[in-house]
């Protein structure tokens, strides 16, 4: 049975998923939380890093951690361009919360370079992570970015990154490159039924 370990790095979340000694890391946090993430990962036999999308608060530590633990980094190929240029998929927002978060985010996004990991592998909808010792499948959750991905772990735990957020209450992600698409993604997550939802920002909640 898989266990989900929440690693909080400022306002950002990443998650270590383990079955016994084998583990994967979902998102890596920003550079400020690197030592904390290393300390948690060092407790397990790390097999893989999955990044939901290449924004710095989710992927800034990916290259360093890949080299440190000698493991690949999985990403959706639709987001490969974001390692070079965040504005390839410009972000917009809705609501007061979204406007505030976007205002804080854009300058840092444009100024923070995320180093592309050398050991990249590409994943897509339905790919199993069983070869890495974890009963989980990749979900494509586009809208925040067009290649955003999540993890469905044992059909019990759903790691959604920025497809949804819980800044104040659970909601469709407030930042998006395509609002119509992220709304469809939010509806898809709801239709999956009973899951514990783990957000990129905010505390986990239970979906009935």
Q: Is the CB of residue 133 less than 8 Å from the CB of residue 172?
A: no
- pTM exceeds 0.95 for this model: yes
Residues of the domain holding 18: 3-207
> What is the b/e burial string over 69-79, where b = at least 16 CB atoms within 10 angstroms of the residue's CB?
bebbbbbbebb
| Confidence check: pLDDT of 106 > 90 | no
CATH code for the domain of 185? 3.60.15.10
Number of domains into which the chain is organized: 1
Cα 161 → chain centroid: 4
Instruction: Convert the pLDDT of each residue in 129-175 to its tens digit.
Output: 999 999 999 999 999 999 999 999 999 999 999 999 999 999 999 99
Does the pLDDT value for residue 62 go beyond 90?
yes
């Amino acid at each position: 049975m898989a266990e989900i370990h929440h690693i909080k790095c400022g306002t950002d979340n990443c998650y270590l998923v383990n079955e016994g000694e084998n583990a994967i890391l979902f998102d890596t946090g920003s550079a400020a939380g690197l030592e904390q993430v290393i300390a948690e990962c060092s407790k397990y036999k790390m097999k893989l890093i999955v990044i939901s999308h290449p924004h710095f608060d989710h992927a800034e530590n990916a290259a360093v951690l890949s080299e440190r633990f000698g493991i690949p980094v999985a990403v959706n190929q639709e987001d490969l361009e974001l390692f070079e240029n965040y504005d390839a998929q410009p972000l917009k927002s809705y609501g007061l919360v979204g406007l505030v978060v976007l205002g804080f985010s854009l300058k840092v996004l444009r100024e923070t370079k995320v180093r592309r990991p050398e050991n990249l592998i590409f994943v897509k909808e339905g790919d199993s992570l069983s070869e890495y010792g974890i009963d989980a499948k990749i979900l494509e959750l586009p809208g925040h970015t067009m290649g955003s991905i999540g993890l469905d772990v044992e059909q019990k735990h759903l790691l959604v990154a920025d497809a949804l957020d819980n800044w104040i209450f659970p909601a469709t992600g407030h930042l998006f490159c395509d609002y119509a698409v992220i709304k469809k993604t939010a509806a898809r997550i709801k239709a999956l039924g009973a899951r514990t939802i783990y957000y990129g920002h905010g505390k986990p909640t239970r979906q009935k």
